[in-house]
Amino acid sequence: MTLATHPVKMTTDLAGAVLPNPVLTASGCAAAGRELQPFAPVSALGAVVTKSVTLRPRAGRPTPRMAETPSGMLNSIGLQNPGVDAFLAHDLPWLAEHDARAVVSIAGGSVAEYAELARRIAHAPALVAVEVNISCPNVESRGEVFACDPLAASRVLAAVRAEIPAVVPVLAKLSPDVTDVVAVARACADAGADGLTLVNTMLGLVIDPDTMRPVLGGVTGGLSGPAIMPVALRCVWQVHAALPSVPILGVGGIRTGLDALQFVLAGASAISVGTAVFGDPSAPVRVLAELETALGERGFTAVADAIGYAHRDPGVELVVPPPPAPATDPARPSAAAGARPSWRLGEEDLW
Amino acid sequence: MTVGSSVQGDPVAERREPIQVRGEVLARRRVGAYQLVEITAGGIAERFRPGQFVALSVGGPASALLLRRSFAVYRATPVGAFSGTVQIVVGVHGRGTEWLAGVRPGEPLDVVGPLGRPFRLPAAPTGCLLVGGGYGSAPLFSLAEALRARECRVDFLLGAGSQDRLFGELEAKRTAGAVAVCTDDGSVGRRGTVADALPDEIERTGAAAVYACGPMAMLRAVGAVAASYGLPCQVAVEESMACGIGVCMTCVLPVVGEDGVTRMSRSCVDGPVFDHDRVRWDDVGTVPADALGAIS
């Protein structure tokens, strides 16, 4: 791996949570961090986004819970988790002991349930942000998913925001399965969400050609992995364009530093590595190193300067890639050094 | 439980943490209907205990197959002429295993392991009957070595659909006391399943413990026979996994804990070895209504 040509400041401010770097895990893809520790030390990550926790333990859905799809997977876990009591007793203390920062994902079936969960976790150790998983059926509205209804989503966010200390940001995790993601984003921000996590999985289906029935025990499942990355990136782009002051945690199919870079350029202040962890448990630390290199190679001295950079006006270039590193063998100058473009703009050309 | 850095400062536990290494295919050869693949995986063989498995990435660097494939370790060889190696037995079930069954020596392979809970060994010398179905018998041979090192008598009962799907018959005959073979089609050995043959083998060998590995239906039947003789039985289960390390929650099955409570347990980190009498075989593939957190 080539090193960044100059150090890049990787600290990021995610809606008020100051993180040492912008690479996080994704909810449901890292449990509560412990299993990842041998491969990606939790203290080295921007934060660990924990698997959604519910008020009471949940056994989840029947197996099969997973089907591999081209460049992705479909899952139907059904929010299996030990419940908030066990989570507070075992998981958050472990993260705190290991110098990790926790973004705690909460899931509920009613506004009251979300509020109760928020109360329970509000002062927990290691907590740096709350992520509200609103891709859950609303038991008070015939099972309609909160994230698909701007009004229901905003009620949940307002209720959670009211229970969480002001210094701890609250993020709404939105579904891409909506006609107008900006409308839901705006409703959540207006209701008090400090930031947005974009996006959750997309609903999908796989049928087994041998049994001629759906593969998953839960019939439909959430599609994740690189297959959904362009959709996730489009959502980040649209929301950042419409609401540039609302911080975004970008997630959906990221498996390399260049994938992460695309999310940052589209407007994400931080990113989550999700499904890639299943195939490569050290992916988060690798993506972080690759992202730092990629930023340095493009002339950025801080990740903060790259957030939303793809939205700049035509003709505007605020950063200048550093010259290529000198060839290690002086007898054979590198082709790249010889081909350095003479038309490269200097800073004086811009302003 | 060895995963996690709660073991920091405990050298034995630290040595047992799984690691991720960039290995390489050392050799591959056909064994009946299967491919035996030997992979350099420095550090994994040294940590390995019988019953554990490895999770491999498949398809090469540009692969659209994202998820790991998990394989029981057939044989682990700590550092010798090469860095430590592990051997796995591959049966083709889909695109991932098809790719693995065709790898050439020198192919890079990302390996995570050793994973899962190993077989527990008897405290005192005990007669053990090792029952394998198809290539599910693969992990039983390193188990047999560990048992013999503890002065346990080891006998084998191997079964498969047909002769080409038997694995390890010759090796078992070279190393074990009694070896019984059966096939569904009668192409070799007794006709029928290992569960059909098990009562005779328990009586003939006088075994006091049973270990089994193979398809779920076989494990269920074998454990039931062992229980009817009052024998303890450990089984290594095969469940579909995405990650192998305990984060994806796809490989669950209903297991009764020490406290009598049924939980949807992960076969990758809570297993793959379970006591047969802890698994709720009737309910595998479902979430029993009395499981912790079941929706009532």
Helix (H) or strand (E) holding B254: strand B252-256
Taking only the tens place, the pLDDT of each residue in B33-65 is 999 999 999 899 999 999 999 999 999 888 899
Size of chain B, expressed as the number of residues it contains: 296
Mean of pLDDT over chain A: 91
Give the pairing type, strands B75-77 and A48-49. Answer: unpaired
Residue B18 contacts A, CB cutoff 8 Å:
yes
Q: Which domains does chain A have, with CATH numbers?
A: 12-326 (3.20.20.70)
Q: Which of A208, A232, A291, A346 is nearest to A21 (CA)?
A: A291
B19 vs A38: CB contact, 8 Å cut-off? yes
Residue A100, CA distances (Å) to A44, A127, B227, B292 in order: 8, 9, 46, 29
A56 vs B65: CB contact, 8 Å cut-off? no
Structure-token pair, residue A249: 């945690």
Give the pairing type, strands A72-75 and A66-69. Answer: antiparallel
**A66, A98, A225 ranked by CB distance to B240: nearest:** A66
Whether A29 is a known active-site residue: answer no
Taking only the tens place, the pLDDT of each residue in A261-311 is 999 999 999 999 999 999 999 999 999 999 999 999 999 999 999 999 999
> Does the structure show a pLDDT above 60 at B263?
yes
**A39, A70, A77 ranked by CB distance to B250: nearest:** A77
Q: B103 Cβ partners below 8 Å, 6+ apart?
A: B25, B28, B37, B109
Residue A329 pLDDT class (50, 70, 90 cuts): low
> Does the structure show a pLDDT above 70 at A155?
yes
A59 vs B253: CB contact, 8 Å cut-off? no
What pLDDT shows up at residue B159? 96
Q: Which residues pair with A106 in a beta bridge?
A: A53, A132
B293 vs A83: CB contact, 8 Å cut-off? yes
Distance CA A70, CA A68 (A): 7
Q: Which of A68, A73, A49 is nearest to A251 (CA)?
A: A49
**B66, B112, B243 ranked by CB distance to A71: nearest:** B66
Structure-token pair, residue A91: 């998981």
Structure-token pair, residue A85: 């009591």
Q: What is the ipTM of this complex?
A: 0.91
Closest residue of chain A to B69, computed from CA coordinates: A279
CB B152, CB B125: distance < 8 Å: yes
What pLDDT shows up at residue A53? 97
Least confident stretch, A124-138, A154-168, A312-326: A312-326
* Cβ count near B65 (within 10 Å): 20
Closest residue of chain B to A283, computed from CA coordinates: B20
Distance CA A228, CA A72 (A): 8
Structure-token pair, residue B103: 């790898």
Q: Which of B201, B197, B160, B162 is nearest to B178 (CA)?
A: B201
Residues of B in contact with A217 (CB under 8 A): 285
Please give, rounded to a whole number of angstroms, the shortest distance from the CA of B33 to a CA of chain A.
22
> Does the structure show a pLDDT above 80 at A110?
yes
> Does the structure show a pLDDT above 80 at A347?
no
What pLDDT shows up at residue B240? 85
What pLDDT shows up at residue B97? 94
Residue B3 contacts A, CB cutoff 8 Å:
yes
Residues of A in contact with B253 (CB under 8 A): 63
Residue A190 pLDDT class (50, 70, 90 cuts): very high
A57 vs B264: CB contact, 8 Å cut-off? no
Taking only the tens place, the pLDDT of each residue in A28-61 is 999 999 999 999 999 999 999 999 999 999 999 9
Residue A346 pLDDT class (50, 70, 90 cuts): very low
Mean of pLDDT over chain B: 92
Q: Which of A264, A229, A271 is nearest to A249 (CA)?
A: A271
Closest residue of chain A to B70, computed from CA coordinates: A279
Residue B158, CA distances (Å) to B30, B49, B165, B167 in order: 19, 22, 10, 8
Q: Is B155 exposed, middle or buried (0-12, 13-18, 19+ CB in 10 A)?
A: buried
